[in-house]
Structure 1
Amino acid sequence: MLNFKLWVDADALPRIYRDIIFKASDRYLLEVIFVANQPLGITPSVRIKSLQVMSGADQADKEIVQQMCAGDIVITQDIPLAADVIEKGGVAIHPRGEIYTIANIKARLHLRDYMDTLRGAGVQTGGPKPLSERDKREFSSALDQTIQKQKRRKL
Structure 2
Amino acid sequence: MDQTDTETTLPVRLLVDADACPVREECVRVALRHGVKVTFVSNSFFRIEADPLVEREIVPGNFDAADDRIVEHVTPRSVVVTADILLAERCLKADASAVLGPNGKPFTHDSIGMAVATRSIMADLRAGGAQVGGPAPFAKADRSRFLSALDVAIVRLKRQG
- TM-score, normalized by length of structure 1? 0.92
TM-superposed deviation, 1:50: 0.3
TM-superposed deviation, 1:88: 1.2
Moved over 6 A (4+): none
Q: 1-side partners of 2:12 and 2:108: how far apart?
A: 18
The aligned counterpart of 1:142 is 149
1:39 aligns with 2:45: yes
1:97-137 alpha-carbon deviations (Å, 9 max, x no partner): 11111100000000001111101101111222211111111
Q: 2-side partners of 1:118 and 1:4: how far apart?
A: 40
The aligned counterpart of 2:33 is 27
Q: 2-side partners of 1:111 and 1:89: how far apart?
A: 23
Report if aligned partners of 1:44, 1:50 keep a CA contact under 8 Å in 2.
no
Which ranges in structure 1 are unaligned for 5 or more consecutive residues?
none
The aligned counterpart of 2:62 is 56
| 1:4 corresponds to which of 3, 12, 26 | 12
1:70 aligns with 2:90: no
1:64-117 alpha-carbon deviations (Å, 9 max, x no partner): 001221220100001111111111110210001111111000000000011111
1:80 aligns with 2:86: yes
Q: 2-side partners of 1:41 and 1:114: how far apart?
A: 36
Identity %: 33
Q: 2-side partners of 1:57 and 1:18: how far apart?
A: 20
Q: 1-side partners of 2:132 and 2:20: how far apart?
A: 19
Segment drifting more, 42-51 vs 86-95: 42-51
